[in-house]
Amino acid sequence: MPRRPADGTPRNDMTYMRIGIDARTILNPEKGDAIGVGHYTYQLIRHLLEIDSENEYVLFFDFRVREKDIKKFTKLNVKIKFYPYSDYKKYLPGAYNEILGMATLAREKLDVIHSTSPSSRIPTSYRGKTIVTVHDLASYKVPDIFPSFKVAKYKATMNLMVSKADKIIAVSNSTKKDLCDIFGCSGDKISVIYSGFDKRMLEESKVSREKVLERYGINDGKKYILFLGTLEPVKNLTRLFEAYKIFKEKCQKESGNCEYKLVIAGKKGWLGKEYRQMVKDLGIAKDVTFTGYIIGDELVPLFKNAEFFVMPSLYEGFGTTVLEAFATGTPAIVSNVSSIPELAGDAALLVNPLNTQEIADAMVKLATDDKLRYDLRQRGFHQVEKFDWKKTAKETLEVYKNV
């Protein structure tokens, strides 16, 4: 007999499902604001609940999340479940996930459980149908730019989750190819489902441009080039700084003055403290501004006021910031590696991230060619329309049904 929805209404539809989603990456007390996987999880759940009132959803949160933070997920077909005793994890990491995690999931009698990241691993002893979303395989593709202990831990969890999953969702065709190459997975086991982008990026910000520029000290009247992302080696910031120096010297040689600053926006990651010293050593410190973490309402004016955006990453599983640049009409220079070309299409200048001179030449091109900047803006508006969270939710729901 099919189970009843949360409101108790009898059901005759035998396709009714009880779907579990691990939502611990959202509003995680240990990790602060939702970024990356947390943003994906939040948007996926939000749009699934908009399009699907037929199935029941069990959302698993960290037990320390505040009640008021989860009210937005409250619906008749939603059950909120908290992982118990999360503070024991530091004392019993293996036992916590295997014993307490297994008991928590088993009680819910789920038809399928979706882990939105391999890091939110499902207990090995769990025997129900499982789906995992894989966002990023940088630890396999460019392992030397991450701490060795983190690479080892990530690989151990990834190996477990990939072998355990009944179905894998890859966020790009590039990620699917990497999965097949690394793990020898059958292509049939992997569904490619693009993430969407936050459509608030298409709207005018509630925060004024002047207020944002003043807050971050970039209101001196100079034009600026924008980078946005976590400050860590995979973002290739060292070569970006070197390319900016070449660009700056060329500007000064040709016009006697370089009117472009470089704005580095984002929180510090691994080795993040080293970058301020790097710009001093290169002699460009007075023209480089580090803003720190940027809150959501400030992103639109920061993008829109930039002359162009640069993302020379060594690897990206998806690269949401490229879409944010497109949505705000900001021309972009991006890497020609991993998933980035399939996201960017013909709407950005593609460069070899290992070639500093090539990055610098692209910066000169965008700074001096008004028509190119206009063309890229128009193409960007068109390209970003292909990425929609409602479409992501619909395709993910189909994976649940097929599993």
pLDDT digits (tens, 9 = 90+) for 134-175: 998 999 999 998 889 889 988 999 999 999 999 999 999 999
Q: Does residue 2 register a pLDDT over 50?
A: no
State the pLDDT confidence band at 93, using cuts at 50, 70 and 90: low
Burial class (CB in 10 A: 0-12, 13-18, 19+), 177: middle
Among 6-20, 57-71, 276-290, 303-317, where is mean pLDDT lowest? Answer: 6-20
Residue 205, pLDDT score: 79
Helix 237-255 vs helix 274-281: crossing angle, to nearest 10:
30
Residue 84, pLDDT score: 65
Residue 6, pLDDT score: 47
**pTM, full prediction:** 0.89
What does the alpha-carbon distance between residue 403 and residue 128 come to, in Å, rounded to a whole number? 11
Residue 165, pLDDT score: 95
What does the alpha-carbon distance between residue 355 and residue 313 come to, in Å, rounded to a whole number? 12
Q: State the DSSP code for 286.
A: G
Q: Which domains does the chain have, with CATH numbers?
A: 18-195+388-402 (3.40.50.2000), 199-384 (3.40.50.2000)
Strand, coil or helix: 301: helix
Q: What Cα–Cα distance (Å) separates residue 194 from each residue in 134, 156, 179?
A: 11, 25, 16
Query: What's 180-197 look like in SS3?
Result: HHHHCCCHHHEEECCCCC
Residue 201, pLDDT score: 87
Contact 36, 135 (CB under 8 A): yes
Q: How many whole angstroms from its chain centre is CA 277?
A: 27
What does the alpha-carbon distance between residue 33 and residue 6 come to, in Å, rounded to a whole number? 30
Neighbours of 213 (CB within 10 A): 19
Q: Does residue 379 register a pLDDT over 90?
A: yes
Among 34-38, 55-59, 233-237, where is mean pLDDT lowest? Answer: 34-38
- Tokens 């025997």 locate to 127
Between 288 and 197, the more confident residue is 288
What does the alpha-carbon distance between residue 306 and residue 303 come to, in Å, rounded to a whole number? 5
CA atoms within 13 A on the CB side of 182: 19
Residue 260, pLDDT score: 93
Paired sense of beta strands 308-311 and 78-83, if any: unpaired
Token pair recorded at residue 314: 């060594």
pLDDT digits (tens, 9 = 90+) for 110-142: 999 999 998 888 888 888 999 999 998 999 999
Residue 89, pLDDT score: 56
